Chains A and B, each alone.
Chain A
Amino acid sequence: MSDYPLTIAEAGASLRANRLTSVELTRETFARADRLDAQLGTYLYRCDEAALAAAAQADEDFRLGKDRGPLQGIPLAVKDILSTADCPTTAQSLVLDPAWGQRGDATVVARLRQAGAVLTGKTSTMEFAIGLPDPAKPFPVPRNPWLISAWAGGSSSGTANGVAAGIFFGGIGTDTGGSIRIPSALCGVTGLKPTWGRVSKSGCVPLASTLDHVGPIARTARDCALLLNAMAGHDPTDDCSADAAVPDYTRALTGSVKGLRIGIERDHHTRAPMVDPSAAARLEEAIETLAKAGAEVVEVSMGLWDAVNEATIITTFAEAFTYHQANLQRRWEDYGIFTRAMITTGAFYSAADYVQSQRVRRAGRREVLDLLQSVDVIVGLTMGAGAPPVEGLDFASALMLPAFTAVWDGLGFPTMSVPIGFTDAGLPIGMQVSAGPWDEARVLAVGDAYQQLTDWHRAVPTMAVG
C-alpha cells in the first residue's frame, strides 16, 4: 500500500475520506506482520479473524454514519499481560494459570473495543513484565527494528517494536519501572505512563501492585492523547483506580510551548555514569529546540533521585515476590531463568526495607511537587544509551543499563518518552517529559509541540519501509 498512513490520526483521516477501508488497513497490517514478525518477535498471538470482523463492522458503521471516534477502524495491539476475550493471555509465561485469561476483556481492552478499535492480537513482553528475553522458553525474543541484533527493550516490547515497524498503529503497554517508556525510547516511538490510578489495571496480571501503570504506546503524542481519551477513567472494579475527572487530552495540544517553564534534570541523567555522549547531545538539542520555540529552560536537581530509584526497585521486587512466592516454590523451572532470579531477590529485603521505601517514595513526591512550583515539567533522558545487543543480556548487565524511568513509577506521576533522534551508532533515543499528578495533558502538550517542530517521530526503520 503506497499511501500507508503512519499515525492513528492519519489513518483515521483516510478512513473518513474513504481513501481506504478498515478492512484494507487491517489486511495491510497483517501483511506487514507476515513479512516482519519472524524477525521482530512482535506478536504472541494474532487475532486475524476477530480483527477482520471488527474492521468490517467499523466500515459498516462508517457507511451508516455511526462514528464512535478517532479509534474506530484503527488496528491496535495489546500487551499480553492484559486479558482479552478473543485471545489467550499468558503473561509470556508457562506459569500463569490459563484460567486467569478467561475472565474476558480487561477494562482498558473493553474501552478500546467500545471506541471502535480493531484489536489485532497480543504482543510480546518479558515474562510477567519482568525478566529478560529467554531463548530457552517457547516465546519470541523481541528485537529492535532499527538493528535486528539489538533488543526492543521491555517489557512492552512487542507493542513498541510493532508500532515502530508499522505492524499496527498503537497499543497498550504497562509500566512498573519503565516498561512503556524504555521500549518506546529504544524503538523510536512515543509512550505515556499516566498518573498511577488514571487507567484501570483490572484484568492486568500484576507485577508490583503499587507501581503498575497501564498506558498507550503510539508513534506520536497526539496518538497517545487519542488512546488515553478512550483508556482513562474511573473503574469501580479496580481498587487502585482514581475517581478523577478526565479531560479531552487533545484539547491541550496547542502546538505552543511559549512561556512554558521546563526544568532540565542533568544531575541524574546526562551526568550519570554509562551515558552515551551522543544521547546527552540529543537531549541538549531537544531542549534548545523547545527554548527557541519560547520555552523558559532552567536546570533543576532532584536530590532524592537515587533513594527514590532504589525504593522503587525494592518495592517492585518485594511486591512481585509476594505475588509469586508460592509458584516459585512449586514451579521454579517453569519460570524463565532471569524472571526467577529477579523476582527471588524480593526475598532479600526486610519489612523495614519495604516500609522505608514507601516513606522515601512519599518524601520524593513532596520534593518533586515543590520543584513543580517553579517549573511546569521536568525533562531528562529516558535511557542514556541506545538499545543493547540481545546477545549477552542478563540480570547483572541489565542492572547496569542507564535507565532513568523507575523514579517516575515510584512517584506515580505522569511521564512520557518522546523520540529525539539517534545515537552516533544510529539507535533511537528518547526524552522523558514529566509533570505533576493528573497533568497528563501538559506532558502530552509538550510532546506534541516538540513533534510539530521536529520529525524524529516520523522516522521509519529501513526494514519497515514499503
Chain B
Amino acid sequence: MSADVPDNNRARELLAAAGLSPTGDEVAFFEMMYPLLRSRADTVYSVEQDFEA
C-alpha cells in the first residue's frame, strides 16, 4: 500500500498548498528529492500487521 504516487510535479503542488515560496533552485531540488523521499516513505507500509486488532 502506498499513500501517494511519486510525481515530480506533485512536489511543486505540495509546496504551494503549504504556502511556501522557495527559490527556483530550491524548487528544482525539491522536485528531485520528492520521488526519493516518497520511495523511502513506502518502507513504513512494508510492515503488514493488523495494527487496530
Contact = CB atoms under 8 A, between A and B. Distances in A.
Interface of A: 304, 306-307, 309-311, 313-314, 321, 325, 328-329, 332, 337, 340-341, 344-345, 347-350, 352-353, 356-357, 359-360, 362-363, 395-396
Nearest to A361: B44
A306 B43 contact: yes
Contacts of B38: 348
A357 B41 CA distance: 9
A308 to B, nearest CB: 9
A258 B44 CA distance: 38
Contacts of B21: 329, 332
Interface of B: 3-4, 11, 14-15, 17-22, 26, 29-30, 33-34, 37-38, 40-41, 43-47, 49, 51
A22 to B, nearest CB: 49
A363 to B, nearest CB: 6
Contacts of A341: 26, 29-30
A456 B18 CA distance: 48
B29 A353 contact: no
B1 to A, nearest CB: 9
Contacts of A310: 40-41, 43-44
Nearest to B14: A347
Contact of B20 (A304, A329, A349, A352): A329
A432 to B, nearest CB: 21
Contacts of A359: 47, 49, 51
B50 to A, nearest CB: 10
Given A347-B14, A348-B37, A348-B38, A356 B45 contact: yes
A365 B33 CA distance: 30
Contact of A357 (B4, B29, B44): B44
25 contacts: A310-B41, A313-B40, A314-B41, A314-B44, A325-B19, A328-B20, A329-B18, A329-B20, A341-B26, A341-B29, A344-B22, A344-B30, A345-B30, A347-B15, A347-B20, A348-B14, A348-B37, A350-B3, A352-B3, A353-B41, A359-B51, A363-B47, A363-B49, A363-B51, A396-B33
